[in-house]
Amino acid sequence: MASRMKKEAPEIPAGSMADIAFLLLIFFLVTTTIASDKGILNFLPPKQDPNVPPPDIKVNERNIFTILINANDQLLVEGEYGTTESLDQDVKAFILNFGAPDEEGQALYNSLPASLQSLALRDPASSDDPSEAIVSIKTNRGTSYDIYLEVFDLVKKAYFDIYAARVNLSSEEYRALSAEMPGESDLQDKGKEGIPMAISIAEPDKQGGN
């Protein structure tokens, strides 16, 4: 009896398998959104206590690289009309100017690879030392987010290029370093050492926006 049952066991036709699989495939193709959690990281300053006046920090004008963006998305870089074209090079040259380095700055200069040392123009009107250099971005309420991010991106690029060159990586590889892997976080720290990423984002002013 049992053997007869086995003989009659019906076979499922597999011909339509491909069609079913295709239907499912198309369904998942359409609903898939590849999750992208990439972006540009920014650290906001701590909130200000209204009872405490903002600290009066004296910073020499020459140590600040100012980028102003108005409501028409025009750039004013260090007091002159600018474009986003060579901005990252300008920022790099500003950070690595070494106009008047102190002892630590000089030691830092000596530790840099030759490709970065050649950028040090020692212009007295530009930054004294990478640890003093600040890049300031100020926008207007009417400035578009797109151009703001483009400028911010370029300033970050300048820093990442420097960090990457110090540890002999490409900028791409440096950004992919993870702080959780022991070997990689050392490299990360080595790149950053002595050159803090000092990007100041000023509160946008009111005119021209909503």
User: Which residues bind to another protein, rule: CB under 8 A?
Assistant: 14, 17-18, 21-22, 24-25, 28-29, 31-47, 139-146, 148-150, 152-153, 156-157, 160, 171, 175-176, 178-180, 203-204, 209-210
Q: How far is the CB of 154 from another protein (least distance, A)?
A: 8
Q: How far is the CB of 44 from another protein (least distance, A)?
A: 4
Q: Is 134 exposed, middle or buried (0-12, 13-18, 19+ CB in 10 A)?
A: middle
Q: How far is the CB of 146 from another protein (least distance, A)?
A: 5
The residue among 71 and 119 lying less far from another protein, judged by its C-beta, is 71
Nearest to 165 by CA among 112, 119, 129: 112
Q: How far is the CB of 38 from another protein (least distance, A)?
A: 4
- Which residues have CB under 8 Å from 189's CB, separation 6+? none
- The identity of residue 195, as a single letter, is I
Separation of alpha carbons 52 and 129, rounded Å: 30
The residue length of the chain stands at 210
The residue among 43 and 81 lying less far from another protein, judged by its C-beta, is 43
